[in-house]
Structure 1
Amino acid sequence: MLPVDPSPARADLRFLLIDDHPAVRQGLNLLLESHGYTPGVEAATRADAKGCLEQATFDLALLDLSLADGSGLDLLADLAEHGVRILVYSMHEDPGTIDRALRCGANGYVTKREDPSVLLEGIEGVLRGERFVSERAGSSLDETAGARAMDPLFLLSDQERAIFSAVGRGESNMDVAGSLGISPRTVETYLARMVNKLGLSNVRTLRKFAINWRE
């Protein structure tokens, strides 16, 4: 792969590389540099990534879904709220995970078993504002319809499912916040997102649905 002369537009773009394997992050930076991009800021955990978001702005995040301190799916909302485009780069190839990632805010999905040229194509497509799903990931998506019909909670992240279960047990926002180590306001934000994802009318309806739900 021959290096490409950096252009001002490419050199000015800022990347956030979120992966718990140093070798993967190094490989991503080598790929970026070889095509004229500035090396990205590296984050190994969700906590690291959130810290980076508080300190700088980014154009694109390359996000792994298996991190040492939890699922990368729970970072999607934080990244989107900071105006960062998101390309998931993951070993996970099951249709449920791919579908959840795309429906929860990812702008694209590439599996780690694909050629680096596919990843580069995804990076450039997402930076142009396009949705990019690699051929390998896209071939799995039509398998999700049955799973979604069987499980209305299919679209919820792990954190949202935990809150949903707590609400179903009759816990108050304060109780949920205390048990999960988050603020009551954050609980309210999650509840509002779940109302939208599940197509419900309001939080009261969500609470009733959660109480009647049997996982």
Structure 2
Amino acid sequence: MAGERITAVIVDDHTAIAAGVRYWCERAIPPIDVIDAQAQMANVWTGPGGRADVVVFDLELVPKNPAFGELRRLVDNGRRVVVYSQHADTATVLKCINLGALAYLAKTEGPEHLVPAIHAAADGRAYTPPSLGGVLAADDDPSRPRLSLRESEVLRAWFASSSKDLVAAKLNISVKTVDTHIERVRVKYANVGRAARTKSELVARALHDGLITLVELDEMMDPDS
């Protein structure tokens, strides 16, 4: 997406929400063009909405009936979805993430999180706002591997380092021990059916599971921080 104008289509039955999201996105850096689907899923699949990079999706298209089926259809067809909903219960949040949404934001979370979530989704990356991070941290879903504190520490240090030698020096352990911890993490992910064979895949898993946020990762990689 580098150098290209990002487009997002919003499907929400509240016109004020759509207008607010457009206002935030127009002033974002880089700016985002927003298409209002006017709560009609047909407008997400055809015309400008069908070509949008990201779908900002409200679950309550039908009152009291979260539209999980529509979310599944979007994801199954390769659409990049950010759920933006008033629902905040753990079961709903986790179901959306497990269905393939790249981010889940409560409508109490404003442009400081929605805009970065849309930017991340346009690049095919997950985004973890505070509400989602809290749900994931408390999640007892067996599809999420349980890492020890030391495994998490080694993983985070590795994300921030250019080599395992630097990780070993920072944590005062051997390179072999670093390798052992990282391999254990890979095995745990493989055991729940979510293989992570490369460093970039592990970063993606960690971001998705709330083990680290995008802001933290950026700070780790910033030499001036």
TM-score (norm. length: structure 2) = 0.54
Report the residue type matching 1:135 in the other structure.
Answer: P
Contact 1:111/1:134, CA 8 A, preserved across alignment: no
SS at match of 1:117: helix
Pairwise CA distance, 1:20: 0.7
1:72, 1:42 → 2: CA distance?
A: 18
1:29, 1:130 → 2: CA distance?
A: 21
Count of equivalent residues: 140
SS at match of 1:32: helix
Post-superposition Cα deviations, 1:126-150, rounded to whole Å, max 9, x if no partner, equal: 22221112112220234442799xx
Pairwise CA distance, 1:38: 4.7
1:145, 1:76 → 2: CA distance?
A: 23
2:68, 2:131 → 1: CA distance?
A: 20
Pairwise CA distance, 1:51: 4.1
CA RMSD of aligned residues (A): 2.8
Report the residue type matching 1:109 in the other structure.
Answer: Y
Unaligned runs of 5+ in 1: 1-6, 149-198, 200-215
Pairwise CA distance, 1:106: 0.5
Match of 2:118 among 116, 119, 123: 123
SS at match of 2:52: coil
TM-score (norm. length: structure 1) = 0.56
Q: How does 1:9-88 map to 2 (within 5 A)?
A: 9-11=3-5, 13-35=6-28, 36-45=30-39, 48-55=40-47, 56-68=50-62, 70-88=65-83
Question: Residue 136 in 1 paired to residue 128 in 2?
Answer: no
Unaligned runs of 5+ in 2: 144-192, 194-225
Report the residue type matching 1:66 in the other structure.
Answer: E
Report the residue type matching 2:51 in the other structure.
Answer: T
